[in-house]
Structure 1
């Protein structure tokens, strides 16, 4: 089951961070978590919008009312969410977010990927990428629209995508996806992307693509993926398996758009080593480009599933 007792959402009062607050409030209501609302006040940054005059939880009651009207989660659960608000001052937003997360022992961090704008302002997008890279906790990133168009509010989570690379770390992400699917009454798509292009070292005898090495690669990987999914424990939810041959990041983003995915859950590190594919770089590209929220989980970080054996411990067995 999900183990989220304390959920931190960072806001800067932009429409995008307000959208992240809505998702965080909805998740807190579903999991029974305490919601920590943090405003990171950046030192030496001019406050042109009167942000520091508002409390971090400003308008939270309006968000509760809005979610009640949507009806995706009960009014009782929304009213039961305990809220703690905090303002932190630091040289930049990311250190403030991560230091509070460590002090408050939060289980998950939520934030928008495009908030503050303007050449003299801290871009929340870059802050989100820094938090995704450095935070020990899983991170929920919520994307907004480009430029100054209003960001859409909370959308129902009915379809979850779990990109997998057959590592123990991606197995953890699949377990988490199953738990989130239970909370949101959603289904899951498990996706593995087989790299089509080969390293030049393989260019012998006319071998340039994966199909030259194995013409039946998709069928082979499909069987492996089906086995991987069936052997991954967790609640019984509908999981569809999908295999594509191509390039991981753009193919994952394309899958999201083509299939109406509402949430992506993925590990930030899969295969490791200088000669291996780094899922971490793929995760950052997904956070940057897909339209739906993304939950990234560190390979060696905190788990959101209860009674879970850390992946690094399983790898040593």
Structure 2
């Protein structure tokens, strides 16, 4: 690769609920918006619930509770104060929408605007595990029409105005279209922040299992070394020289389950951003998504940017 890819982020959508988790997310969204001069939209979804839980026989459909004008103004006033404190004065377009389903409304808003990035706050390991499995974040991560940045509650600090958000970025590559697209985001963000970028590949199947020993001098160590060297060459070929001018780049090839090795290397490098790709949007992709990206987003102590190859 000879040219440095450029990623444009012009519109950032950040769903909020006024908890500390969404405040962390909004701070990150505002910091990224400053980098790119992007529009920032905060979305609060008021769930339209039935007025009663149990219907008398033949009563017909229940009435739907919507916000009164007075209650809507109260919520808007509270959210405006919340956004002002979290964004450090960066302009934010605040939207309050009535909808029966939070995830579907986030996805709809992201698609119609359209957003270039969605930033979500998580509720921690146990809470986020339930949150992900079949709930809001799971649907948004798998179905969003754009990349999604997940900000876990275990993030040590939220960015402050003027400070770089990400100094050490880890990007996991498996050479799929989605991971190559993720690398473009990682390189662009590393250039923007003058950050250190580590590009890694995890060899999940031990290379010697693919080889058939043909002689008594068959060497497992030699096979492993050959596989690692081959993957290192492939990683180096992906990185344009122009990117090295603006940021420090390292490559790493490790052996083991990808999600485990990503988390281990992120901790060792003290990464403050993990970037990774996921495949597709269909139900058949859940097994792939759940095995790596979902595990990383559940366990990570730093934000995780999830990118789809078709984005």
Tell me which interval the TM-score lies in, with the shorter structure as reference length: 0.7 to 0.9
State which of 41, 45, 69 in structure 2 corresponds to 1:40: 45
8 Å contact kept, 1:166–1:228: no
8 Å contact kept, 2:178–2:309: yes
State which of 54, 63, 78 in structure 1 corresponds to 2:75: 54
Q: CA deviation at 1:5?
A: 1.4
State which of 273, 284, 307 in structure 2 corresponds to 1:263: 273
Q: Which residue of 1 aligns with 2:142?
A: 133
- Structure 2 counterparts to residues 165-176 of structure 1, below 5 A: 165-176=174-185
8 Å contact kept, 2:13–2:119: yes
In the alignment, does 2:63 pair up with 1:63?
A: no
- Structure 2 counterparts to residues 224-263 of structure 1, below 5 A: 224-230=234-240, 236-263=246-273
CA distance in 2, matches of 1:166, 1:124: 26
8 Å contact kept, 1:195–1:245: yes
8 Å contact kept, 2:167–2:194: yes
8 Å contact kept, 1:19–1:153: yes
Q: CA deviation at 1:10?
A: 0.5
CA RMSD of aligned residues (A): 3.5
Q: How many residues align?
A: 267
Q: TM-score, normalised by structure 2?
A: 0.74
Q: Which residue of 2 aligns with 1:222?
A: 232
1:225-248 deviation per Cα after TM superposition (whole angstroms, max 9, x unaligned) = 222334897974321000101110
State which of 291, 297, 300 in structure 1 corresponds to 2:310: 300
Secondary structure class of the residue paired with 1:59: helix
Tell me which structure has the larger Cα radius of gyration: 2
Secondary structure class of the residue paired with 1:154: coil
CA distance in 1, matches of 2:279, 2:28: 25
Q: CA deviation at 1:253?
A: 0.7
State which of 168, 176, 181 in structure 1 corresponds to 2:190: 181
Q: Which residue of 2 aligns with 1:25?
A: 30
Q: CA deviation at 1:299?
A: 1.1
Q: CA deviation at 1:287?
A: 1.4
8 Å contact kept, 2:120–2:149: yes
Q: Which residue of 1 aligns with 2:116?
A: 107
Secondary structure class of the residue paired with 2:175: coil
Q: CA deviation at 1:57?
A: 3.5
State which of 151, 167, 177 in structure 2 corresponds to 1:158: 167
Are the structure 2 counterparts of residues 114 and 124 from structure 1 closer, same or farther at C-alpha, using a change threshold of 3 Å? farther
